[in-house]
Amino acid sequence: MQTRLAWIAFVFWFLSDVAASIFLEPRCGNHIALKISGGYNAAFHHSAWMAAVNNKTHFICGGTLIHKRFVLTAAHCIHGQDVLSVGLGAYHKSHPEVRRDVIEKLMFGGRSSFENDIGLLKLSSNVIFNAHIRPICIVLNQSLANQMRNVSTFKAFGWGFLRGRKETDILQTITLKNFDRKECEVDLSVYLSEKQLCAGAPLGDTCEGDSGGPLTNNVNIREVGDREVQFGIISAGKSTCDGLGVYVDVMSYADWIKTTIERHYTEDEPQSSPVPKIKPQQQDVFLYNDCGGANIAANLKADIYGLNFRAQGIFITHQFVLTNAERLPRNPSNLRVFVKGRTHFYEVYSVLSVLPNDQNDVALLKLNRPVATRGSPAGMKPICMLANVVDQQRAASTPPFTMFFDAPTHRRIYDVSVALGNPHQCSERIQRRIEWNKLCVEPPNRMSRIGSGSYILGKKVTNSGKIMLVLFGIVSDSSNGVYVFTNVMKLSEWIANAIRIN
């Protein structure tokens, strides 16, 4: 997307009360994060409803999450494609929050055409909405839609080529002017129907790779508040990416979108609980079955020593310790691991191999032998990690999370319920960017006066009626009252494979 970013707030005020039922998905278009201005990259919160559509080998188009089971995109993007998947919550298109396979393609009229370039993708399972994944608003109320049609500008989003046909992994945005359709007919020598829009910018344009992405604007509706509404779908334009473009008028297809979703939607099994319940499945619930404990005091911890080096770790099996990769010596013969209890150390182990994942600042240490029952505190076990994506997503979407504060003077460990922080606000506090694979937490101020924060971020779930603590993150940084954790839950597949082959 060739861009010159300009943030222009466009606000509608309506005198009459309008209920949330005017939207396809009532929980749509909420701005969870702060706005930022300047530059070429889109604001992080706009990635909440963005979808990166991929075929078997590569990224092909953009799209938008409009419903917990459906993604909206351009029909020409999905026509003739056999195997598709989407990445959701994708600020970086190569690192989405979650991925879903596509199990059905639905194009208007059953085919792709220039005039009706609109399609829906049915996902393999429902998406659980959270701070990073939310649907954009599709207006169903035609009276309200008609009041919105004459907007002067749109915001377009996508991962298309930049100037010089450079590829980008970061979501881009551009502000486009809403032109009369006749302008596009003259400039592009095509006829536009009433279900198409014409838009462009003097010093930028959408480009190859942006197709399927949205035209949006912020709407303020009385008694509903600010919502991000989708007006169009990026459809066609000049191959030189330097002029007016043609866009699908989404509001003209609101009835088709609604009826198509109603006809093809199938509900997942209900899933809700303050403490998420994990159902027994054929697939293992945990990465390592002999794990346990409802509190960090019940889990095996590690102190790692080397030449001028000391770090913490957590046992995730009786023979593997998870720790940070940064500054970790790579020669295993230089490392020793002490099994740590509540008040003192137990047996010491040497390290057989170091398995780093530097991109995500984590590493596994394989010990020379499993921790023996006699060599560890009675009843202590490795911490549990959820094994499958469904359970992980279910747990991640139901706050709170848990931090632990060790207070030696009180002779106890405090469980503290915490919520995940806003990445932009955390970045401002610590004066460093919070990367896509990190989680930030700002615990209550009083806890820092009581004791030191724990090495892990956990989550309490119930399995077969028993409360279990599962691992979500390990500390990578802390500053100015903010703790930054590496999201190890997202790395469960890498962890499982590393353990299996080693």
The number of beta carbons lying within 10 Å of the beta carbon of residue 498 is 19
- pLDDT score at 64: 94
- pLDDT score at 352: 95
Q: How far apart are CA 131 and CA 50, in angstroms?
A: 13
Higher-confidence position of 428 and 402? 402
**CATH (one of 2.40.10.10, 3.30.70.3270, 3.30.70.2190, 3.40.140.10) for 296-375:** 2.40.10.10
In this structure, are strands 277-278 and 456-463 parallel, antiparallel, or unpaired?
Answer: parallel
Cis before residue 214, ω within 30 degrees of 0? Answer: no
Query: What is the homologous superfamily of the domain 20-264 according to CATH?
Result: Trypsin-like serine proteases (2.40.10.10)
Three-state secondary structure call for residue 10 = coil
* Pick from 395, 383, 387: nearest CA to 287: 387
Question: Per-domain residue ranges for the chain?
Answer: 20-264, 296-375, 385-488
Q: How far apart are CA 149 and CA 251, in angstroms?
A: 9
- Residue 288, exposed/middle/buried by CB under 10 A (0-12, 13-18, 19+)? buried
Contacts of 368 (CB under 8 A, 6+ apart): 349, 350, 351, 352
Q: How far apart are CA 233 and CA 391, in angstroms?
A: 33
* Pick from 296, 288, 307, 190: nearest CA to 247: 190
Asked if residue 72 has pLDDT above 80, the reply is: yes
Catalytic residues: 76, 117, 211
Alpha helices, DSSP H only, in 300-454?
389-396, 423-430, 445-450
Asked if residue 279 has pLDDT above 60, the reply is: no
In which element (H, E) is residue 314 found? strand 309-315
pLDDT per residue as tens digits for the range 428-474: 788 877 777 888 888 876 555 555 666 789 888 888 778 888 999 99
The number of beta carbons lying within 10 Å of the beta carbon of residue 187 is 16
Which pTM does this prediction carry? 0.53
- pLDDT score at 86: 93
Asked if residue 31 has pLDDT above 90, the reply is: no
- pLDDT score at 453: 62
- pLDDT score at 208: 59
Higher-confidence position of 107 and 14? 107
Higher-confidence position of 483 and 345? 483
Q: How far apart are CA 356 and CA 349, in angstroms?
A: 19
Largest CA distance in the chain: 83
Three-state secondary structure call for residue 440 = strand
Mean pLDDT of the region 333-349: 78
Mean pLDDT of the region 169-183: 86
- pLDDT score at 345: 61
Asked if residue 58 has pLDDT above 50, the reply is: yes
Among the ranges 123-132, 198-207, 278-287, 346-355, which has the highest mean pLDDT value? Answer: 346-355
Higher-confidence position of 282 and 374? 374
- Residue 92, exposed/middle/buried by CB under 10 A (0-12, 13-18, 19+)? middle
- pLDDT score at 166: 67
DSSP string, 455-476: SEEEEEEEETTEEEEEEEEEEE
CB 17 within 8 A of CB 223: yes
Asked if residue 8 has pLDDT above 60, the reply is: no
Report residue 35's pLDDT band, with 50, 70 and 90 as the boundaries: very low
Share of the chain above pLDDT 90, in %: 27
pLDDT per residue as tens digits for the range 343-399: 556 788 999 999 999 888 899 999 999 987 554 555 678 999 998 877 887 788 777
Mean pLDDT of the region 305-333: 92
Residue 465: both structure tokens together: 């009626």
Mean pLDDT of the region 172-185: 88
Q: How far apart are CA 311 and CA 313, in angstroms?
A: 7
Instruction: Output the CA torsion 321→323→329→333 (10° steps).
Output: -10
Fold topology of 385-488: Thrombin, subunit H (2.40.10)
Residue 371: both structure tokens together: 């921790």
- pLDDT score at 406: 66
Asked if residue 206 has pLDDT above 70, the reply is: no
* Pick from 418, 491, 490, 489: nearest CA to 448: 418
Q: Do domains 20-264 and 296-375 have the same CATH topology?
A: yes
pLDDT per residue as tens digits for the range 224-271: 778 899 999 998 877 666 678 899 999 999 999 999 999 998 876 544
Q: How many residues does the chain have?
A: 502
- pLDDT score at 16: 32
CB 149 within 8 A of CB 217: no
CB 375 within 8 A of CB 501: no
In which element (H, E) is residue 87 found? strand 85-88
